[in-house]
Amino acid sequence: MKTQTSVAVVYHSVTGTTAGLAEAAVQGAGSIAGVRAFSVRIEGGDIHEGRYGNTSALKALGGADAIIFGSPTFMGSVSAQFKAFADATSEFWFQRHWAGKLAAGFTIGNNPSGDQLNTIQYLSTLASQHGMLWVGIDLPGGFDPEGRNRLGAQGGLIAHARDGALDPVDIATARYLGSRVAALSLRFLPARVESESHVS
């Protein structure tokens, strides 16, 4: 009987800001007792002729109970490297291997808007394609005592890098998102174990 849940953060980063958010999300998830948190970084070397090919990373993600997706916003959507990874997950789509897992997402850009909401919506659609359950941010933008979710996005974390640096409040929000996903994964674990036992 499975007694521990695991949360994975899979992301692509160019300048290091997305990596910083990913690290904070892992810290937040790992701060919840009974949760193992880890990250998978999408590297350019994992992509050959446009196709993501890191099978060990995909296998590790398959064993997670929740997956948090992260990508910078480039030209109004996820980076090409993240899209290559997303396309590679189609091999699991028809088998429904990720169905029932929790999912969440974050993105960052150099402008307060920059069409970053489209990136969050893309990540949510990716999760829905897999039959995953999307977890948004329940912090009311502009009303959190600690100022988290400062840009007011409820669908996922939207961060704004100023002069290429992460805002400490965005880091705190990423940490919160990780802990929220982890806490919910513990609540969903018994139901997932029961469901999987019936399937097998």
Q: Is the dihedral of CA 8, 26, 180, 13 positive or negative?
A: negative
Q: Give the pLDDT band (50/70/90) at residue 192.
A: low
**Whole-number Å distance between alpha carbons of 118 and 78:** 9
Q: Name, in order, each residue with C-beta under 8 angstroms of 54's C-beta and a sequence gap of 6 or more.
A: 42, 43, 46
Over the stretch 4-35, which tens digit does the pLDDT of each residue have? Answer: 899 999 999 999 999 999 999 999 999 999 99
Residue 135: per-residue pLDDT? 97
- By the 10 Å C-beta count (0-12 exposed, 13-18 middle, 19+ buried), 196 is classed as exposed
User: What's the mean pLDDT in 125-137?
Assistant: 96
Higher-pLDDT residue of 191 and 157 is 157
**∠ CA 15-52-107, rounded to 5°:** 35
User: What's the mean pLDDT in 123-152?
Assistant: 94
Residue 169: per-residue pLDDT? 94
Q: pTM of the predicted model, to two decimals?
A: 0.92
Domain membership of residue 18 as a residue range: 5-199
Q: Name, in order, each residue with C-beta under 8 angstroms of 132's C-beta and a sequence gap of 6 or more.
A: 67, 98, 99, 100, 101, 102, 103
Residue 157, domain CATH: 3.40.50.360
Extended beta strands in 43-86, E state: 47-48, 51-52, 66-72
User: Number of folded domains in the chain?
Assistant: 1
For 116-134, the three-class secondary structure string (H helix, E strand, C coil) is: HHHHHHHHHHHHHHCCCEE
Q: Give the pLDDT band (50/70/90) at residue 141.
A: confident
**Percent of all residues in the chain with a pLDDT value above 90, rounded to a whole number:** 73
Over the stretch 59-118, which tens digit does the pLDDT of each residue have? Answer: 999 999 999 999 999 988 999 999 999 999 988 777 788 999 999 999 998 777 778 899
Q: Are 22 and 67 in contact (CB under 8 A)?
A: no
Residue 191: per-residue pLDDT? 56
